[in-house]
Amino acid sequence: MNPPTPLLEGLHSFKLPIPYPMKTVTVLVSTASPITLIDTGVNHLETQVALEEHLKSLGLTVLDLERVILTHNHPDHSGLSGWIQRQSGAKVLMLDHEVQDSAHYLSSTWFKPHLEHLTAHGLPPELAPTLEGFQKSRAEIDFPETVQTLQAGDTLELVGERFEVLWMPGHSDGHLTLWSANSGLLIAGDVLLERITPHIGLYARGRPDPLGDYLTSLERIVALEPRSTVVGHYGPTIEGGAVRANQIREHHHERLEHLQTLLERPLGGFEVSLELFRRELPASGRRFALTETLAHLEHLRLRGVLRREWVNEGWLYAKV
Ligand SMILES: [Zn+2]
């Protein structure tokens, strides 16, 4: 167990184990009242035990937690929030957009439109998600009974510092970040990552242009010029943040250029994804590659660069 990293007096970050390729997720604890946890890790026993050990090293237990702030509703960030609330009675807070989205994302009604969406963009049946897989992944979130909503622009106090709640959609529709102008600290969740770029995917019933949303979020980080940024995986912090935000913007712009060269003839989203992500991937990886490709295709379509047509029960994209 690595010792928690102090960020500001009384604000500590540490990494919890998660059963995903990134291996760990960053969570933060503020030991000043109200005692606050930011993100929770996934609903797995190993993660829960590690959280309890880290809290113990700060002289705390789960029962002491008074407030839990979730950057977004993905299982690696929100998974233990229901368990924590039942133990401690902590308030759980999330951005308004994400609260609305969670009702759909966590319900069994999510699966069918998701499958139809992927199929309409050419996903072969052998790579289609299964209902059992869907149910298993939902078990990785123990969602709280009651969630309080935050609005973009709200402010809250953490260890005596004023943090502004910023809405930075892209990786999820209602992703929030916390910004302290005074200390120059940005708590970014999965908006900014080291080593890998956050997944930006187009989903059924999601916002129509997640890549456009995300590029705007990155521009905002560049404009903030953070002194230090807490990132959801790896890290837990990176110096600055604007340089990394610009690198990721560049990466997506290059991909948008590359994608246009592939569309010399009309192609379905899945075919394009095989060209954009040529490495061998498991079925779940191929689905992420498809949703990520669709975010890029739709970004160009909504800007009038591409058009799409319904042919033989599926969408084909072509240059205008
Ligand atoms: Zn994550």
Tell me how far the alpha carbon of residue 13 lies from the centroid of ligand 1, in angstroms: 15
Tell me how far the alpha carbon of residue 77 lies from the centroid of ligand 1, in angstroms: 6
Tell me how far the alpha carbon of residue 320 lies from the centroid of ligand 1, in angstroms: 36
Q: How far apart are the C-alpha atoms of 269 and 281, rounded to whole Å?
A: 16
Domain containing 90 — which CATH number? 3.60.15.10
Quick check: is 88 in a domain? Answer: yes
The candidate with the shortest Cα–Cα distance to 168, out of 232, 214, 106, is 214
The candidate with the shortest Cα–Cα distance to 26, out of 44, 43, 13, 12, is 13
Quick check: is 82 in a domain? Answer: yes
Residue 279: predicted pLDDT: 92
Tell me how far the alpha carbon of residue 305 lies from the centroid of ligand 1, in angstroms: 31
The count of domains in the chain is 1
Tell me how far the alpha carbon of residue 316 lies from the centroid of ligand 1, in angstroms: 31
Ligand 1 is an ion; residues with CB less than 5 A from it: 76, 190, 232
Quick check: is 86 in a domain? Answer: yes
Quick check: is 22 in a domain? Answer: yes
Question: Which tens digits make up the pLDDT trace of 230-248?
Answer: 999 998 999 999 999 999 9
Tell me how far the alpha carbon of residue 98 lies from the centroid of ligand 1, in angstroms: 15
The pLDDT confidence band at residue 299, using thresholds 50, 70 and 90, is: very high
Tell me how far the alpha carbon of residue 113 lies from the centroid of ligand 1, in angstroms: 23
Question: Which tens digits make up the pLDDT trace of 73-129?
Answer: 999 999 999 999 999 999 999 999 999 888 888 888 889 999 999 999 999 999 999
Quick check: is 83 in a domain? Answer: yes
Tell me how far the alpha carbon of residue 81 lies from the centroid of ligand 1, in angstroms: 15
Which are the contacts of 63, defined by CB distance < 8 A and separation ≥ 6? Answer: 87, 88
pTM for the full model? 0.95
Quick check: is 270 in a domain? Answer: no
Quick check: is 295 in a domain? Answer: no
- Per the structure, the complete domain to which residue 93 belongs is given by 5-106+141-258
Quick check: is 153 in a domain? Answer: yes
Q: How far apart are the C-alpha atoms of 17 and 9, rounded to whole Å?
A: 25
